[in-house]
Copies of this chain bind each other. A is one copy, B any other.
Amino acid sequence: MKIFNKITDMKAEIKKLKSEGKSVGFVPTMGFLHEGHMSLVRESVSNNDVTVTSIFVNPTQFGPTEDLAAYPRDFERDCAMLDKNGADIIFHPEPSEIYGEGFCTKVELSGITEVLCGISRPVHFAGVATVVTKLFNIVNPDRAYFGSKDYQQLQVIRRMVKDLNMDVEVVGMPIIREADGLAMSSRNVYLGAPERRSALALSGSFKVVEDLLKQGVTDSKTIKEKIAEFILSHPHTRIDYIETVHPESLVSVDSAEADFVVALAVYVGKARLIDNRYFEVNHA
């Protein structure tokens, strides 16, 4: 497994691989990897000649009061996991390598980035879109893999790739969960034992929605109220948002009459956790 820190070295390697006709799969990450990331790596390995994973805690996608400094890091463990799962290349640049002197360019989406996480994290998605554009230009992948836990991020990337005519296939992969249902996240390390129990409120909400749909409830307002009630019955929880949205545009929907996504952001202690589920509505 090769490790590159410099953009020029990474680009040269990719140029060589492409000249040999190799296909490149790409898994961009912020490191502190878990089984969710590994599912992306394995999918990439099985569909591409070469798999590149980037590990870069991107400062521009954190707000001034967020957890940039505290964000967990363990490069050696990450390398071991990637090696074991068949990744070929790690791109691991310093922030100064990515944001050089005089850097002043931003890729920004309107609308789709101004709902859900975009409300409490106003600079987040411009940071994501910009760094992903840069990484795509550096790694030049045929396919790029993103998990569905960050559902809004996945839709933002899809939209950006379409809008800017980027030559990359965006592959969205299912959420990977712990045995009890908690969506895997690098931020789960912030949870103490009682918070870890309360964190099940997020995935548990989807059972609440299922039950409501079975009872014929299609009114979004009711659905959201019942979710809030369920979540707040768990100690240490504070709701950032509970939303029912259109699966692509992420526009809020009033009723569950077509496919929709339930998206949640909930503070459990100090950890801000997100989760979501796609509900297919059967009109048969």
Verify B105–A109 contact, CB threshold 8 A: yes
Taking the closest CB of chain B, its distance from the CB of A84, in whole angstroms, is 30
Asked if A134 is an interface residue, CB under 8 A from chain B, the answer is yes
Q: Which residues of B contact A108 (CB under 8 A)?
A: 105-108
Asked if A69 is an interface residue, CB under 8 A from chain B, the answer is no
Q: Which residues of B contact A140 (CB under 8 A)?
A: 167
Asked if A138 is an interface residue, CB under 8 A from chain B, the answer is yes
Verify A137–B166 contact, CB threshold 8 A: yes
On chain A, the number of residues with a Cβ less than 8 Å from chain B's Cβ atoms is 30
Asked if A173 is an interface residue, CB under 8 A from chain B, the answer is no
Closest to A138 in B: B165
Q: Which residues of B contact A111 (CB under 8 A)?
A: 104
Verify B11–A105 contact, CB threshold 8 A: no
Asked if A186 is an interface residue, CB under 8 A from chain B, the answer is no
6 closest residue pairs by CB, A with B: A105-B163, A137-B165, A104-B110, A138-B165, A105-B109, A104-B111
Verify A159–B105 contact, CB threshold 8 A: yes
29 A-B pairs (CB sep. < 8 Å) = A7-B165, A11-B165, A11-B167, A100-B163, A102-B159, A102-B249, A104-B109, A104-B112, A104-B159, A104-B163, A105-B107, A105-B108, A105-B109, A105-B159, A105-B160, A105-B164, A106-B109, A106-B110, A107-B107, A107-B108, A107-B164, A108-B108, A134-B165, A137-B164, A137-B165, A137-B166, A137-B167, A138-B165, A140-B167
Q: Which residues of B contact A167 (CB under 8 A)?
A: 11, 137, 140
Closest to A108 in B: B106
Taking the closest CB of chain B, its distance from the CB of A182, in whole angstroms, is 33
Within 8 A of B (CB), among A22-64: none
Q: Which residues of B contact A130 (CB under 8 A)?
A: 164
- How does the 8 Å CB contact mask read for A116-130 relative to B, with 1 for contact and 0 for none? 000000000000011
- How does the 8 Å CB contact mask read for A157-179 relative to B, with 1 for contact and 0 for none? 00110111111000000000000
Asked if A133 is an interface residue, CB under 8 A from chain B, the answer is yes
Taking the closest CB of chain B, its distance from the CB of A119, in whole angstroms, is 17
Closest to A10 in B: B165
- How does the 8 Å CB contact mask read for A241-255 relative to B, with 1 for contact and 0 for none? 000000001000000
* Beyond A102-B159, A105-B160, 10 additional pairs, beta carbon < 8 A: A100-B163, A102-B249, A105-B108, A105-B109, A105-B159, A106-B108, A107-B108, A108-B108, A134-B163, A134-B164
